[in-house]
Amino acid sequence: MSTDPNDPFWLPGLDGDLSGGGLAEPAAGDAAEVVGPGRLQKVLARAGIASRRVIEDMIVAGRITVNGTVATLGDKADPRSDVITVDGAVISTMPDAITYLLNKPAGTVTTADDPQGRPTVVDLVPGQPRVFPVGRLDVDTEGLLLLTNDGEMTHRLTHPSHGVEKEYLAHVEGSPKPNVLKRLRAGIELDDGMTAPAQAAAVGDNMIRLTIHEGRNRQVRRMCEAVGHPVIRLVRTRIGPIADRQLKPGEHRSLTTKELFALQSAVNLEAPAPRKRGDD
C-alpha cells in the first residue's frame, strides 16, 4: 500500500498496483444517494436497523408498523414520508447511509469498542452517523476495511454464499516455491476444515498475493503457516471491486457512487434509484 521504494510492500514491476484490480482513482466526495421508496425490509436494512433477513422475521412477528398499520411481507415504504415503528418506537430510516473505506493501520482493533482501551477502527472515522466494521482484520493486519451503517450490505458482504473476494499481500518467512503456491490454490487443511480454493501468486522475494472468499479467523495467516511460511506482515489490498492505492494508513474516505454500485452488484444487491429533484 506504499509507494516508498524502501518499503518492502512497494513492488516494482507491478505498475504500482498491489491489488490487481479494483476501481482506480475515485473522485472524493462522490456519495451515493440511498433514499427513496422501496420494500420495507430494504428501506430498514439501508438505514442500518438490521439485515434484510432479520427484518423480514420482525415483519412476520408483527413488530413493525407503517403509518400505524402492522406491516406484512411485501409492503413498501417511503423513508421520506412514512412513519415506521419497530416495537412501538418510531425509528429514523434516513440517517444518511454511509460506507467508508479505511486503510487500517497495525495495532488498531476491528471493533466499535475495546474493553482493553486499545484504539479501534471506529475511532478513525467520523462518529456520526454511527457505522460498524464489515468483517474483521486482526489487530496486526493492515489494509482496507469497510465501515457502514447499511445492515443489508454488511450481511451480504460477510455471508459466505456471496463469495466476495478479499485480496491480501503477505510478506512471509522464506521464499515460497511453486509447489507451495499450488497447495494454497487447491486448499489447505486447517483445524476448522479445508479451505476453499484460493488464488495465490508470488509477487516478489518472500511475497505472496493471496485472494480468498471465505472469512475465517486469521485464515491467511494460518494458511501460510500451514505451508511452512509464517506471515511477517499482512496487508489487505482489495475487497471485491474496491481498491485504493493512494489511501494512507489511518486515512478513510466515503465510497463513490461508482464504487457503491460496483459493490452492490458484487453481492447481488439492487442498486437504489437516484433521487430526482422535486421529489421532496
* Residue 66 near residue 82 (C-beta atoms within 8 A): yes
Q: How many CA atoms lie within 13 A of 215 on its CB side?
A: 18
Catalytic-role residue among 138, 140, 192, 279: 138
63-98: burial string, b at 16+ Cβ within 10 Å, e else: ebbbeeeebeeebebebeebebbbeeeeeebebebb
What residues does 236 pair with on adjacent strands? 143, 168
Measured between alpha carbons, how far is residue 42 from residues 27, 31, 98 in Å? 27, 19, 15
* β-strands 166-172, 142-148 pairing: unpaired
For residue 187, give every residue at least 6 positions away whose Cβ sits within 8 Å of its Cβ, in sequence order, or none.
Answer: 194, 195, 196, 197, 198
Neighbouring C-beta atoms of residue 57, cutoff 10 Å: 12
Cell readout for 69 is 398499520
Active site residue 192: no
User: 73: which residues sit within 8 A by CB, 6+ positions away?
Assistant: 41, 56, 59, 60
Q: Are strands 231-239 and 142-148 parallel, antiparallel or unpaired?
A: parallel
**At 204, is the secondary structure helix, strand, or coil?**
strand
Taking Cα atoms as reference points, which of 67, 44, 70 lies closest to residue 55? 44
What letter would DSSP give residue 44?
A: H
Task: Tell which residue, 89, 86, 60, has the closest CA to residue 73.
Answer: 60
Q: Which residues are catalytic?
A: 138
